Each structure stands twice: as C-alpha cells, then as structure tokens.
Amino acid sequence: MSNNRPDPNAPPGTPRWVKALGIIFIVLVLVVGFMLLSGEHGPGRHNPSGGNTGGQTPSATEHEGHQP
C-alpha cells in the first residue's frame, strides 16, 4: 500500500493565483506577438501609406477623401 500523505520535507507548491497570472501573461504575450507579426496592428498601421514624411497630419476632410 502506498502512503498518500504529502512529504513534510517537500517545499510548498506554487499558489493557484500565481499559475493563473502566469497563464494569462503568456496568452497576452502570444496575442500581442501575433498581432504585431500579422501586420494587422502595430505602430506603422496608422501612418499614411503615401509617403507623407513631412511631419504634417492630413486634416479630417483630406483623410476621408473629401477635397476642400
């Protein structure tokens, strides 16, 4: 017969809340990494693709395709 009592000399296990936070953190890192690698999101997504490097942001009417 085996003894099912925990070993009193063994170190305590990792608390459940630490495991849960670790899993949540890993999932968030994977989601952010996927979004950055897929090109759907990221710092360059909101920049105009026309090569506007003059530091000027187009106005709301120009951005929507309306000319004044």
Q: What is the pLDDT of residue 16?
A: 95
Determine phi and psi for 7, rounding to 5 degrees: -70, 120
> What is the token pair recorded at 1?
């017969």
Q: What percent of the chain has pLDDT over 90?
A: 28
What letter does residue 5 receive in the DSSP assignment?
A: S
pLDDT range class, residue 31, cuts 50, 70, 90: very high
Long-range Cβ contacts of 64-67 (<8 Å, 24+ apart): none
Report how far residue 38's alpha carbon sits from residue 49's, in angstroms, rounded to the nearest whole number: 17
Q: What is the pLDDT of residue 27?
A: 98
Task: Judge whether residue 10 has pLDDT over 70.
Answer: yes
Q: What is the pLDDT of residue 7?
A: 80
Establish how many alpha carbons lie within 13 A of residue 5's alpha carbon, considering only the half-sphere containing its beta carbon: 4
pTM of the model: 0.48
